[in-house]
Amino acid sequence: MRRKKETPTTLVRKEDVKREWYILDAEGKTLGRFCAEIAKILRGKHKADFTPYIDTGDGVIVINAGKIRLTGNKEAQKIYRYYTGHIGGLREIPYRTMRDRDPSYIISRGVKGMMPKSRLGKQQLRKLRVFKDEAHGFEAQQPKKLEI
């Protein structure tokens, strides 16, 4: 039995990557699903020439981070925890407090958890900008509005 000839896979070099910036509006979106879409764009999985070990992703600007929503009872029950490094230094902040204090942290942390835990993941995460409301200072990047 003869094997069919396969076409070789073309892999992208980092010099050939063309980057774009996208604006995503978080108003009325569900947190987890929205963060998954952002992570997909940052990694470059939305492109046909995705290469896992090269940063082929695009930049993402998120506006209206304070208007994201959660499903079920998560708004009352979700707690953000971090450890300061000192004895007894576990800090717990409820979702509602965090939303009032710094809504950009909610989306940034959600996306960070979905990215690879490597140097490449940290490099890709640097292309994420989250803003509390409509105002952002990235007009020079000529971002495209993207509907999710």
| Range 106-115 burial, b when 16+ CB lie within 10 A, else e | bbbebbeebb
pLDDT at 66: 95
pLDDT at 7: 67
pLDDT at 10: 75
Q: pLDDT (tens digit, 9 = 90+) per residue, 83-136?
A: 999 999 999 999 999 999 999 999 999 999 999 999 999 999 999 999 999 999
Q: Is 50 exposed, middle or buried (0-12, 13-18, 19+ CB in 10 A)?
A: middle
The tokens of 133 are what?
């409301």
For residue 81, the cross-strand partners are: 92
pLDDT band, very low/low/confident/very high, at 1 (cuts 50, 70, 90): low
Q: pLDDT (tens digit, 9 = 90+) per residue, 8-56?
A: 677 888 898 999 999 999 999 999 999 999 999 999 999 988 999 999 9
pLDDT at 96: 96
pLDDT at 14: 85
Q: Is 35 exposed, middle or buried (0-12, 13-18, 19+ CB in 10 A)?
A: buried
Domains of the chain (ranges; CATH) run 20-70+101-145 (3.90.1180.10)
Are 22 and 61 in contact by the 8 Å Cβ rule? The answer is yes
pLDDT at 148: 87
Structure letter (DSSP) for residue 69 = B
Structure letter (DSSP) for residue 44 = T
